Amino acid sequence: MTTLNILFLPSWYPKHPSDIKGVFFRDQALALAEYGHKIGVVAVTMRSLRTLGHHDEDTAGPEYEVDEGIPTYRRQVWAALPRIPYGNYWLWRRAARGLLTQYVREQGWPDVIHAHSAIYAGAVAADWAREHGIPVVLTEHRSGFARGVYRSWQLKLAEEAAVGADTCIAVSPEFGKTLGRQLPQSRGQWIWVPNVVASRFHLFRSDADDHQRPVRLLNLASMVKIKGQMDLLDAFARLPGSVSSPTELWMGGDGPLRPELERRTRELGIDRHVRFLKAVPPAEVPALLAQVDIMVVSSHYETFGVVAAEALMAGVPVVATRCGGPECIVGEGDGRLVPSRDPQALASAMAEWVERSNQIDHQAISERAKARFSEGAVVKQLTAVYKDVCHRRSL
């Protein structure tokens, strides 16, 4: 295998191994390093002035560390110019270019820059790599393109990043179509490579096979409106009359909607059967999956839906909404897909899998997921992309 020097430039990145923000970027970097590539990371974190004084935002990661063999350079900047078009981008760009210069001085020139998300990493990567003749791979993850939240200057910046990249990757086929509509000059350029699911997700059943306890359903997501947890609670409230087994709903995550969700469980009279777990660090998710029977993704929109792929890798079937990402994850025998924003359809699918929970072939579910989302499967796809862009640049 040809070893390549690949520099990751993500638009956001974990501050430490327990940070869930951007954990899939770190997992991908670690997987590529395990495969034999030389990997480095340059990560700029943009912090809102509104978080000044917030204790949970005060702890930044080290400016430099070797994270499981990966040299990682970090810098935090304040989002001080939110009202000026391109203002915060200029601040982010200046910090990123400073780190890129430092990285090259200390680690050498990369063969490929892999930017994650056009705003702002992709835009910086396209400019900087053009100056130095380095190929760029851009992977887009942000759901904001589908939700229409970006201003015209941000869309222009993202389009320039996509056009300037040698290869553009979307994390699901449907998302690639969305990006082509939002960024017309990039239409037809987006290929699909899924997010990697780390090797810590594997088939391991603890007390999940204890048929004396209630059937456990798990939702693992930030508690914000786009995750559709209000629909999930309404759906779960309909289960008692349609299933023969007692059920529990575990809600893993945190966010601004949590108080309203807790209030809704009381209004529906299901609070004794719903367990709120708060945020779950990445390292603890596999053990959590080993204790549950069914993963439920109730989102209104997902670019991919990594929790669904993680659950399948652990042999846990998935009931998910057709919200953009799960359609390329949940296959035949893996669970059920239903329309989004439809509590009755969600309740019916949940009831179906609760009733068949004793007959689930966890091993088969896990093996199918490994073939598509394991570190080895995704790294092979990415390596082929890297070799292709390097070859094209050499012609």
Identify whether residues 111 and 30 lie together within a single domain: yes
Q: Do 104 and 220 sit in the same domain of this protein? A: no
Please tell me whether residues 386 and 365 are part of one structural domain: no
Q: How far is CA 312 from CA 94, 170, 321, 370, in A?
A: 41, 21, 15, 8
Beta bridge partners of 75: 44
Could you give the CA distance from residue 301 to residue 298 in angstroms, rounded to a whole number? 9
CB atoms within 10 A of CB 244: 7
Q: Are residues 189 and 216 in the same domain?
A: no
Q: Give first-to-last CA distance, the chain, whole Å.
A: 21
The reply to whether 202 falls in a domain is: no
Task: For residues 32 and 69, state if they share a domain.
Answer: yes
Is residue 267 in some structural domain? Answer: yes
The 8 Å CB, 24+ separation contacts for 261-264 are: 261/223, 261/229, 261/230, 261/233, 264/230, 264/233
Radius of gyration of the chain (CA): 21
Do 236 and 158 share a domain, yes or no? no
Give the H/E segment covering residue 366: helix 362-373
What is the total count of domains within the chain? 2
Q: Please report the pLDDT score of residue 76 as a whole number.
A: 93
Whether residue 77 sits in one domain with residue 104: yes
Are 57 and 95 contained in the same domain?
A: yes
Rounded to whole angstroms, how far apart are CA atoms 333 and 351?
16
Per-residue tens of pLDDT for the chain, all 395 residues: 678 999 999 999 998 877 888 888 999 999 999 999 999 999 999 988 877 666 555 466 789 999 999 999 999 999 999 999 999 999 999 999 999 999 999 999 999 999 999 999 999 999 999 999 999 999 999 999 988 999 999 999 999 999 999 999 999 999 999 999 999 999 999 999 999 998 888 777 765 556 678 999 999 999 999 999 999 999 999 998 888 889 999 999 999 999 999 999 999 999 999 999 988 988 899 999 999 999 999 999 999 999 999 999 999 999 999 999 999 999 999 999 999 999 999 999 999 999 999 899 999 999 999 999 999 999 999 999 999 999 998 87
What's the confidence (pLDDT) of residue 207?
A: 59
Domain with residue 130: its CATH number is 3.40.50.2000
| 97 found inside a domain | yes
Looking at the fold, whether 258 and 273 belong to one and the same domain comes out as yes
Cα–Cα distance measured from residue 358 to residue 343, given in angstroms and rounded to the nearest whole number: 24
| pLDDT score recorded for residue 270 | 96
Whether residue 79 lies inside any domain: the answer is yes
Residues 27, 166: one domain? yes
Distance CA 266, CA 274 (A): 10
Residues 294 and 212 reside in one and the same domain: yes
Which domain does 20 fall in, by range?
5-196+374-394
What's the pLDDT score for residue 22?
A: 87
Q: What tokens were used for 24?
A: 């899939």
Strands 70-79 and 64-67 come out as antiparallel
